[in-house]
Amino acid sequence: MIRSLLLAIGLSLAALPASAGFSFANIDGGTIDLDDYKGHPVLVVNTASRCGFTPQYDGLQALYDRYRDQGLVVLAVPSDDFRQELSSAEAVKDFCAVNFNLTLPMTDITHVKGTQAHPFYQWLRDTKGFEPSWNFNKVLLSPEGQPVATFGSTARPLSRKITSQIEAMLK
């Protein structure tokens, strides 16, 4: 469906820039390299532990559980850019494990907006005009690494507008 729409307006996925080459510090140590997810749709979500949208972690985990075996990756990117994150990666990891039993991949605390934004978020801003305006903004990347859709904080992870796009990429 997405490919058809792009072709109808005269674009191909190859014409769009890809998210290749970006890596994040992993909350568990080491790095998370987006190149490792080539061939898989990826939902990247900037998160925070003390936000009114924090209960969305349940939905993100459920989304990951539902589609993980088909190839979906859900990547949580904790950020304190909106002053609602805990003070350390260890505290974030513990909070998410105890309160949400998260098993999805998670980065270390990362800047997602402004001049200090992680290069991935700078790339999104420069190529899609998208910069998170609050916590729990979502970016869906195609299996080729192109940004396909962005969703604001109020978009629930299991909403049809998100799952329908994921399902189209998993077929």
Confirm whether pTM is higher than 0.85.
yes
Angle (deg, nearest 10), helices 56-67 and 160-170: 20
Q: Is residue 6 part of a domain?
A: no
Q: Is residue 10 part of a domain?
A: no
Residue 49 confidence (pLDDT): 97
Tokens 């990429």 -> residue: 169
Q: Is residue 1 part of a domain?
A: no
Range of the domain at 49: 18-170
118 burial (CB, 10 Å; 0-12 / 13-18 / 19+) is buried
Q: Is residue 7 part of a domain?
A: no
Q: Is residue 35 part of a domain?
A: yes
Q: Using an 8 Å Cβ cutoff, are 33 and 133 in contact?
A: no
Active site residue 51: yes
Catalytic residue among 13, 16, 25, 51: 51
Structural domains counted in the chain: 1
Q: What is the CATH number of the domain that holds 29?
A: 3.40.30.10
Q: Is residue 3 part of a domain?
A: no
The DSSP H or E segment spanning 168 is: helix 160-170
Q: Is residue 5 part of a domain?
A: no
Comparing CA positions, the residue from 160, 42, 71, 14 lying closest to residue 3 is 14
CB count in 10 Å sphere of residue 81: 21
List all residues 6 or more positions away from 23 whose beta carbon is below 8 Å from its beta carbon. 31, 32, 33, 34, 35
Collapsing DSSP to helix, strand or coil, 107 comes out as strand
Residue 96 confidence (pLDDT): 97
90-97 own/partner pairs: CB under 8 Å, 24+ apart: 91/49, 92/27, 92/49, 93/27, 93/28, 95/49, 96/49, 96/57
Residue 1 confidence (pLDDT): 44
Residue 14 confidence (pLDDT): 42
| Tens of pLDDT, residue by residue, the chain (171 residues) | 444 433 333 444 444 467 768 999 999 999 999 999 999 999 999 999 999 999 999 999 999 999 999 999 999 999 999 999 999 999 999 999 999 999 999 999 999 999 999 999 999 999 899 999 999 999 999 999 999 999 999 999 999 999 999 999 998
